[in-house]
Each structure stands twice: as C-alpha cells, then as structure tokens.
Amino acid sequence: MSEKKPGVLDPQWEDELRAGQEAEGAQGSVDAELAVVHLFRHAASPETLEPEALGAIWSEVAEGIEAESGFTPWWRRIFDWRVGVGVTVAAAAAAVLVLATRPQPDPGPAPDAVAQASAADGLSITLQAQFDMLAPEARAVIDAEVDAGRDAVRQKLLGTLERGGTLGGAP
C-alpha cells in the first residue's frame, strides 16, 4: 500500500522538494515557485496570516514577479487602500495564478491584461485581469446550463408528441 504523499499546501511537500533537488544535484532556484506555494498556503488559511508574515510573502512574490515581468505588484496598493487581508491575499493569489497559467509573455508590442498592470492604473486593471482568468470557466458553466435547458425542452416536446399532442401550427 502506498503512503499518501503530502499535498502542495503541506509544508512537508516543500521539504521533500528541496531534499529531492539536493539529492539529484538539480541546478537553478525554485524560490519563485515556492513563493507562489507560500501564497496559496496562506490564501487557503488567511486567518493565520500575521501582518509581518504577509509582508514577507509579498516580498517573496514581488521579487519573483518583478524579475519576470518588471512591474511592481499592485496588491500593496490594495492593502494600503484599507481592503481586508483575506481579500488582498486572494487578489494577489489571483494575479499569481494568472501569471502562472498564462503562456510565456510575447516580447511583441501587444499588451495583455497583466502587462497593463505595469502602468499602475489601479484596481480596475487588477480586476480586469481576474475577470480574464475567471470568465472562460464561468462561460463553460453557463453553456452547460443552456445545454441542460435544451435537453429539458427536447424531452418536453417528445413527451407532448408521444401523448399524441401537436406542437402547434399543424392541424
């Protein structure tokens, strides 16, 4: 029977990752990736997050993201604007998720939602980036609901026909 492996939110997971990296003599830093994991961990349990710890996480993630994209994280501004810590961390995690899941940035001139954040346009850009991330799945859910409605209508019409009724129009 195999032992259950620790999830990514379990601190043991990070220990195993570092140990594995050392054992294999792997090159390169995984600090940026781990910073994201730290953020996810705290997003999952924001009540344990002290202001000092939050500041430390921001620094970790900020360094990773600034190095990648060259813009200053916007969630400091959110926090300064008196928004709750839980929401702030979730917002930050959303941006990190956008960065983590989007394709590698195109060096061309076309701006995307995240790159526009470098203009420090404020929360509206942040929220637009979150929308870009969340909308596709929401649209898929709505499509499924409409499909279910279509099935219901079809069943209803078939039931009417089986009972010898008419669908209107024909005598």
Partner 1 sequence: MRGRASGLGTLALGMVLGAAGMFAGLAQADRIAPERPDILVALGQRLDVEHRAVDLKVKKGDIAGAIASLESLRAGPWPTPEDASPVAVALRHDAYGRLVRLRLDHPDVDPVSQATLLQMVDEGLGEDPTDPNPFTARLWALRGELYEAEGRDDEALEAYEKALEINSILLERELGGAL
List of residues contacting partner 1 (CB under 8 A): 7-9, 40, 43-44, 78, 81-83, 86-87, 90-91, 93-94, 97, 122-124, 127-128, 130-131, 134-135, 137-138, 142-143, 145-146, 148-150, 152-153, 156
Name 132's Cβ contacts closer than 8 Å, sequence gap at least 6. Answer: 98, 113
27 vs 124, which CB is nearer to partner 1? 124
Cβ 76 to partner 1 shortest distance, Å: 15
Among residues 4 and 25, whose Cβ is nearest to partner 1?
A: 4
Contacts of 90 (CB under 8 A, 6+ apart): 43, 46
Residue type, 63: E
Shortest distance, position 55 Cβ to partner 1, whole Å: 20
What's CA 123's distance to the chain center, in Å?
Answer: 17
- Of 52 and 80, the one with the shorter C-beta distance to partner 1 is 80
User: Considering the complex, what minimum distance in angstroms separates the CB of residue 67 from partner 1?
Assistant: 24
- Alpha-helix residue ranges (DSSP H) falling in the chain: 11-23, 31-44, 51-69, 75-80, 85-101, 113-116, 123-162
Q: In whole angstroms, how close is the CB of 154 to partner 1 at the nearest point? A: 10
Query: What is the largest distance, in Å, between two alpha-carbon atoms of the chain?
Result: 82
Long-range Cβ pairs for the range 76-82 (8 Å, 24+): 77/120, 77/122, 77/123, 78/123, 78/126, 79/54, 81/123
Q: With respect to partner 1, which residue has the nearer C-beta, 17 or 83?
A: 83
Of 26 and 148, which has the nearer Cβ to partner 1? 148
Min dist. Cβ of residue 36 to partner 1 (A)? 11
